[in-house]
Amino acid sequence: MGKPIGIDLGTTYSCVAVVEDGQAKVIANKGGYRTTPSVVAFDETGRRLVGHLAKRQMIANPKNTVYAVKRLIGRRYDAPEVKRAKAMYPYDILEGPHNDVRVRIAGQELSIPEISAMVLQEMRQVAEEYLGEPVKEAVITVPAYFNDNQRQATKDAGKIAGLEVLRIINEPTAASLAYGYGKKLDETIAVYDLGGGTFDISILEISEGVFEVISTAGDTYLGGDDFDDRIIDWLSETFQKQEGINLRKDRMALQRLKDAAEKAKCELSSVPQAQISLPFIATSEKGPLHLEVVLTREKLEEITADLIDRTISICEKTLDAAGLAI
């Protein structure tokens, strides 16, 4: 039996790790990256693409590129979160035979666990290439606030990927284990995990190598994608005021907006403003139209203030539940 692996199946990126010499080692993929985009696509020949290859062709092939399915896993089709996803994403989201969620991609209707399994298979392959042996067992992390249906659907995805899922672990708990494993700590810690699609906070007590979760809370529909979407809204509204065209109605334009929004958000972590330039984003009777704007960090903070406030409110409730105060 080969080594078991740990997989962080994320909304936007996933990674895989193995224990070596008592420490968790995150394994780099073929491109040298320690994280892999949680993106699945099929090209015009029907070839399946996962990870960086899938993400690179998102703009040209938006209808057959699926991402952020973690926001859909284990949900019923009539859930409000699914309705929001249908409005946000360019790929087709359909109702399955049992009120479950399906996506149409390259003429196929696939369940969400099937899509997630393709990402898990990619992470398994990364581990197998590094270890030089087959991998059969895995621990998979999920947001602390995932319900039983979401946890079971994640486990189902692991099974489809050919993995025996040894355990489903909450993401903040996994982070605290990585932080405190092998250390003689006696302290209370908070893990604030704002991911691509979900937010969690957990308060844990560590004493003599024993980890106890005191309180946990979160929002399974709050993450970096929502920050991107606020930027997309701002870009779309700016362009509509200037040109009278709603870019959200054009799948390819929407994908270009998403790509530009994510890049601008990352840039603004280190610089006070980001230049967004999208030539030939649309056409009109006057000819081709271009989107040229500057997004400042101040503007980003303004349009996302309520998202940050939501995380702070959740943190305060979690601290109260743990009997702690800042």
Residues taking part in catalysis: 8, 70, 171, 193
Q: How many residues does the chain have?
A: 326
Q: How far apart are CA 133 and CA 322, in angstroms?
A: 44
Q: How far apart are CA 320 and CA 326, in angstroms?
A: 10
| Maximum pairwise Cα distance, the chain | 72
Q: 264 near 299, Cβ under 8 Å?
A: no
284 CB burial (10 A radius; 0-12, 13-18, 19+): exposed
- Which backbone phi and psi does 73 adopt, to 5 degrees? -65, 130
Q: 210 near 184, Cβ under 8 Å?
A: no
Q: How far apart are CA 38 and CA 10, in angstroms?
A: 7
- Which backbone phi and psi does 144 adopt, to 5 degrees? -60, -30
Match 């025996």 to its residue by tokens. Answer: 164
End-to-end Cα spacing for the chain: 47
The residue among 135, 146, 139 whose CA lies nearest residue 167 is 139
Q: How far apart are CA 86 and CA 91, in angstroms?
A: 8
Q: 228 near 41, Cβ under 8 Å?
A: no
